[in-house]
Amino acid sequence: MSVGVPPELPGLTYIQPLGSGGYADVFLYQQEMPRMPVAVKVLKGDGLTDALRRQFIEEANTMAQLADHPFIVQIFRAGTSEDGRPYLVMKYYPPPNLAARARAERLSCDSVLTTGIQLASAVETAHRAGIIHRDIKPANVLVSSYGAPGLTDFGIAGRGAALEEDLDEIGVSVPWAPPEVLFGQSNGDVRADVYSLAATLWQLLVGRSPFEVPGGDNSAYDLMPRIRDSAVPATGRADVPASLERLLTQTMSKRPEARPASAIEFARALQAIEQEQRLPRTQIVVLDEQGHTTVADRRSTPDRDDRTRIKAPQAVRGAQALDPATARRSAARWGPQGAGPADPAAPSDPSDSVTDRRPAVPAVSAAETTAGGVEQSDPADAGTVQVHRERVRAEGSSAATGPARAESTIRIGPGTLVGALLALVLLGGAAAVALTRSGEQAEPQQSSTSTIKQESSGPIVAVPEPPSLAAAPGEGGVVLTWTSDDLQRTDRFTVRAAQGEDGDVEAADAVSVQDARRHLVKAKAGTKVCAQVRVDRAGVSSTWSEVQCDVAT
C-alpha cells in the first residue's frame, strides 16, 4: 500500500516516510524545539469513518495514560492537520523492530527472557489501567537506541465495553491471536493478551510465528484452523530450556483458563526460568497505587504494616476472577519445581495486587485530537482478518465455552494469587520450573525448522516500488510473472485476480505468494483472467501493479 502525502504540521519538518498500515501512514519528522526526530502517525483520509476516529482518539488517550512506563512508546501530542487528518506525535525508535530482528537473527534465549519480562511489565501496567491491548505481536514492539523494547500500536486496545460497538471494523492479527478471539468467542481479555505475548516470544526464538508451516500455505484462513486445532510446536532450539518450552506451550493453550491468569504471573514464571538458568534477574516494572512506575521485586521483605494491611478489592475490566483454590493451583503450576503447597493464609504483598488501578490521567480531548482509530502495519494483508462479534455480544461467553467477556467488571481480592506465588518462591529457591497441565491433556510437540518467513517490520520500513506484471496463457490457467529492480530476497507478494469479462480485480480476493515471482491462476480454457500483484516487505506494501489480462488455455 502506498504512503500518503505528509501533512504540514506546526513546529515539525518532514523528513521521510517510515511506513504504512491499513488505516494510517507513519512519517519521520524533525521537531524544531527541542530539536529531535519524532515519528508522526497520520490517519488516512480515504475511508475515514466515525469508528476509526473514535479508535484514533482512544489510541491517543491510552498511550498518554501509559506514557510513563519505560517499555511503552511515549506519545508527545496529538491533533488534526490543516487538511483534516488526525495525527499522533510519538517518540521515534530507529529500525529494526522485533519482527525484523527475528527474521534477521536468532535472538539468544537470555535476551528473549529479558524482553519477555519487560513486555509483560508493560502489558501488566496496561491491564491494571483496565486496558486490553488486543494486538501484541513482534511488529508492534519497537527497540530504542539503548536496546529497550517499546510496546506500541494501541489502536484497537479497549477499556472493557468502551469500544465494543467498533470491533466489527477492526482487523485481527491472525498469527499471534488466540483461538477464542479468531473464532468470535471473545473480544479479547487479559489471558488473550498473555497468549499473544507468548506467541511473540516464540517467534523471537524461531523467526516465524508458531503455526506457520515453512513452505506451506500460511494465509490467514489456513492459519486459523491450525491455531485452533494443532498442538503448539517446540522451538526446536537446543539452547531453549525445557521449562521455557513448557511455559510457552501452556501459555498458548487452547483453553484460556489453563494459561497464566495475568501478565505479571507470566513474568514471574520467566523470572523463575532466569533463576533456574543462573541468569541475572530482570526486574518487573509496573505501576504502584499512586500511578508511579515502580519495581515489583519480591527480594526485599515488606514492612510488617504493609504485610498486614487489608485493601478493599478494586475493579479491573477484562480480568477473570480467581477463587483461592484456583489461585493456589495456578501458583503451583507456574512455581519452581520442588516447592511445597502455598499456605492460603500467607500474607501477600499489596504492591503486587493484580487489581491495583492507576489514578486517572488527563486524557487527550476530542477537541485537541479530532481523531479516530487506526490499524498499524500488519505482517501481510493475509495475516489480518475481520472477526464478526455480534454473536459474542448477543450470547455472551460462559465458563464452559471461553473466557469472561472483555467488558465485564470483575472484582478480585488483592493479593490472593500473589500470596500463593510468594510462598512458592520462598520455598522453591533455585529449583526448576514445573508446568503441570491442570487437567489438560499434554499436547504432543512437533519439531520445527528455523526457516524465516517475512511477516512484518512495522512502521519503520521503506515503501517498495510496484512490480512490473506480465500475464500469459499456461496449462490449466493463466501464468503471472513479475519483476522489479527494487525487489529484495525476503520480499513476499500478494496477487489478486478476477475471471470473466466483467471480473472486478479490485474486488477480488487477495492471495499471498511466498518465495516466488510466478503464480498460476487456475481457470477453465477460454476464460479471461485479469490480475494485479504487489510487493509485501516487512509489513509495508507497494502500490498494486498495472492490471494485466490474458485468456486461459
Q: Is 137 annotated as a binding residue?
A: no
**Amino acid type, 509:** D
**DSSP string across 57-83:** HHHHHHHHHTTTSTTBPPEEEEEE-TT
Q: Which residue is it, cell 530450556?
A: 241
Count the Cβ atoms, other than its own, within 10 Å of residue 449.
13
- Reading the block at residue 282, the C-alpha cell is 530482570
**CA atoms of 452 and 37, how far apart (whole Å):** 32
| Element at 181 (helix H, strand E) | helix 179-182
443 alpha carbon, distance to own chain's centre:
24
208 alpha carbon, distance to own chain's centre:
14
Sorted by sequence, the CB contacts under 8 Å of residue 227 that are 6+ apart come out as: 174, 175, 177, 178, 179, 182, 211
Yes or no: say if 394 and 179 are a contact pair by the CB < 8 Å rule.
no
147: left (phi over 0), alpha (psi -120 to 50) or beta: left
Closest to 185 in 3D by CA, of 367, 394, 416: 394
**Amino acid type, 365:** S
90: β partners = 39, 75
Strand 409-412 relative to strand 314-317, pairing: antiparallel
Yes or no: say if 308 and 350 are a contact pair by the CB < 8 Å rule.
no
**CA atoms of 69 and 148, how far apart (whole Å):** 12
Sign, CA dihedral 40-46-47-53, equals positive
Binding site, by residue number, is 41
Binding site for ATP, by residue number, is 41
